[in-house]
Amino acid sequence: MITISRSDPRRLFWGLLASSFTASTMKRSVRPLFSALFFGFLAATLICRVAIRRRSFSFSSAIAELGNSGLMTEELVFNETLLEFAAIDPGEPKFKQEVDLISDYDNTRRSHRRYFSSMSRPIDGRRRGNRNDITSNFPVTLRSPQVYRYWSEFRRNLQLWARRKAYEPDIMLDLVRLVKIPIDSHSISSKRYSSCAVVGNSGTLLNRQYGDLIDKHEIVIRMNNAKTQRFEKKVGSKTNISFINSNILNQCARKESCNCHPYGETVPIVMYICQPIHVLDYTVCKRSHRAPLVITDPRFDVLCARIVKYYSVKRFLEEKTAKGFKDWSKDHEGSLFHYSSGMQAVMLAVGVCEKVSVFGFGKMNSSKHHYHTNQKAELKLHDYEAEYKLYRDLEYNPRAIPFLPKAFKIPLVKVYH
């Protein structure tokens, strides 16, 4: 999503990195680097969820046939207080601190080392490995000259990425240029895709046979490497965009040549960065990927975060009228609150497709969280109900969605339950 060269828009900016790093040095040096580094910061933390977790929810089918988008055009007045609160990102100070720390990381300074290890500690309380292990492992790997060179490339990437983190809603108008064109291998067209299916991972997919319908879309977007084998009738078999959060790549990065291609090596990956340190995985893995590996633009991340927070706070205040903004923060893990991968994938599709069909988002008492795993728990980090409300507005009342630029044309959206 971040492109730099005008003359060749398909060449991703990030792809220009690490030019001094040849394929062979990669083989020799990066592998051990990986095991060691990742043992340190990556093994532990999961700020974004690794996968999409959903349970039961269903909309009344009575309104399902009412039609779509554009029909409702009257201007809505948003509550300013709510908009302002939604605009606050309580994770911002920590984000800045991490970027700064990496930027002037000095492996000879003990205090830095200590900071680093704390940055990489799991935030959900489940600590794998203890702190001393991390501190003692991490700086050792950084002492080698190759790693050092590699580190500075990572740092440069990180700074370029971090500098773009700002609220600029017009990013929605630029997604075709920033995402579609870089990932299209056949045609470089500035037209949106004619139709896209965004396939979530909800267990509700097992109740239906949407496979053929999904595959009929021009583009199929799947999330967090959910598998399709054995589920083809339910979820389809084709994949054109693999959308993941950086925790997924982080796990793949520990495998041989960052293998993160359950859908085949030629399927482009679009990824959002959960934590600044994950730009490291990106920097390394980018080199061994045949298909484009694209990082979502931080301006797009900021926009998604605001929208979801708005829906979450609004829902909270409506349901629990006695409580105020402060209580929302308490209830939603404050600075850790985050949109789900599925939400951002839907917004991406909204930006690059003429028609968007959404499958496998929702929950039902009788269904599993994921169609492909037995995962049970769901963290409060996400507010799925709020996201469902957003999808409903995308479908029936797009003008009710705050923060989107007026000039942006919301495509037809249909949510399949």
Ligand X SMILES: *[C@@H]1O[C@H](CO)[C@@H](O)[C@H](O)[C@H]1NC(C)=O
Among residues 5, 20, 22, 81, the one that binds ligand X under rule CB under 6 A:
81
Confirm or reject binding of residue 266 to ligand X (CB under 6 A): no
Total residues at the site for ligand X (CB under 6 A)? 10
165 alpha-carbon distance from chain centroid: 15
Single residue of 37, 221, 317, 346 touching ligand X by CB under 6 A = 317
Extract the tokens encoding 243.
């959308």
Q: State the nearest-atom distance from the C-beta of 350 to ligand X, in Å.
A: 18
Minimum distance from residue 76 beta carbon to ligand X (Å):
13
Binding mask 223-252 for ligand X (x = CB under 6 A): ---------------xxx------------
Distant-in-sequence, close-in-space partners of 408: CB < 8 Å, separation ≥ 6: 169, 172, 173
Report residue 147 as tokens. Answer: 């790693």
Quote the least distance from Cβ 208 to ligand X, whole Å.
Answer: 17
What is the footprint of ligand X within residues 354-373 (CB under 6 A)? 365
d(CA 54, CA 377): 10
Site mask, ligand X, residues 28-67, x = CB under 6 A? Answer: ----------------------------------------
Distance CA 398, CA 156 (A): 38
Contacts (Cβ under 8 Å, ≥6 apart) of 6: none
With binding defined as CB under 6 A, does residue 79 bind ligand X?
Answer: yes
Beta carbon of residue 57, minimum distance to ligand X (angstroms, whole number): 10
User: Do residues 313 and 86 lie in contact, with contact meaning Cβ atoms separated by under 8 Å?
Assistant: yes
Which residues fall within 8 angstroms of residue 336, CB to CB, at 6 or more apart? 47, 91, 123, 381
Q: Does 87 bind ligand X (CB under 6 A)?
A: no
Are the beta carbons of 360 and 204 closer than 8 angstroms? yes
Nearer to ligand X, 20 or 58 (CB): 58
Cα torsion angle, 8, 14, 17, 21, sign: negative
Nearer to ligand X, 219 or 293 (CB): 219
Per CB under 6 A, residues contacting ligand X are 79, 81-82, 218-219, 238-240, 317, 365
